Amino acid sequence: MGSCTISSPFDSLLFDLDDTLYSSKTGIGQALKGNVQDFLVEKCGFPESEAPNMNRKFFTTYGSSLAGLRASGYDINPDDYHSFVHGRLPYDLIRPDARLRNLLQSIKQRKIIFTNSDRIHAIKALDRLGIRDCFEKIICFETMNPNLWKSARPDEFPVVLKPSMEAFKIAIDAAEVDPRRTLFFDDNLKNIASGKAVGLRTVLVGSAIKSKEADYALETLSNMVQVIPEIWLSEEEEERIGHSRNEMDSILATTAVGA
């Protein structure tokens, strides 16, 4: 064996947060949508009847309502926006997830968060799940948009978010990973497509069926062991498997002789 042993093809894992590390069924996403619509009405003066449509349109075209508002010339401070839409979320709906924690702790590779959300939200959600210390780094809204707080005009710097290629380049840089040896987990099809385009190995979460750009699909993260067992491959592990294979061979040989 020695130099012939196969180790894991992955040395880093990049995880989206919302609807990836906790289920979209928690109600957090629904509450967030309501808060964004309230922001559009209360802070920007959109009619209540138009708010759901505007939110959808901004999300599809710009990645978020904050991005859409700023691109449209609204001088919205990102911190005010985030504290309004995230600050009032019912975080107690996110329950501690001991199974996920055990799963993450069994993975020896580098683990990094890559989310469009702001840092305060990411930390609150990770703390609720009880998995914050499983991650080496959080790449988030602030990482992708360092210039927003300095700019004089809201449309001077466009908001950078997944699925833009720019966002992925910033994340790969900040994470200091080799995309070809990095697994990227996300529940959003567009994000998976961009991830694939920058050379990441992609895992669509929340679906048992792969999209065109997904290398793997997981209905839930707990399926990871069955679907991507190569994460846990290590030289030691390989040697152990090799060992038991030898033992198995000798058992079979003995049986054959006896028969």
Number of residues forming the site for Mg ion (CB under 5 A): 5
Shortest separation between residue 143's beta carbon and Mg ion, angstroms: 16
Interaction between residue 14 and Mg ion (CB under 5 A): no
Binding mask 229-248 for Mg ion (x = CB under 5 A): --------------------
Interaction between residue 18 and Mg ion (CB under 5 A): yes
Q: How far apart are CA 102 and CA 96, in angstroms?
A: 12
Interaction between residue 195 and Mg ion (CB under 5 A): no
Beta-ladder partners of 203? 185, 216
Stretch that binds Mg ion, among 16-24, 138-146, 177-185, 228-236 (CB under 5 A): 16-24
Beta-ladder partners of 137? 112
What six digits make up the tokens of 95? Answer: 């329950």
DSSP state for residue 220 in the 8-state scheme:
S
199: left (phi over 0), alpha (psi -120 to 50) or beta: left
Choice between 8 and 58, CB closer to Mg ion: 58
Shortest separation between residue 67's beta carbon and Mg ion, angstroms: 16
Q: How far apart are CA 52 and CA 30, in angstroms?
A: 12
Interaction between residue 187 and Mg ion (CB under 5 A): yes
Q: Which of 8, 14, 16, 63 binds Mg ion (CB under 5 A)?
A: 16
Q: Single out the residue of 96, 92, 83, 87 nearest to residue 21, CA to CA.
A: 96
Choice between 8 and 168, CB closer to Mg ion: 168
State the Cα torsion 180-183-189-193 to the nearest 10°: 0
Residue nearest to Mg ion (CB): 19
Instruction: Give the interface with Mg ion as residue ranges (CB under 5 A).
Output: 16, 18-20, 187
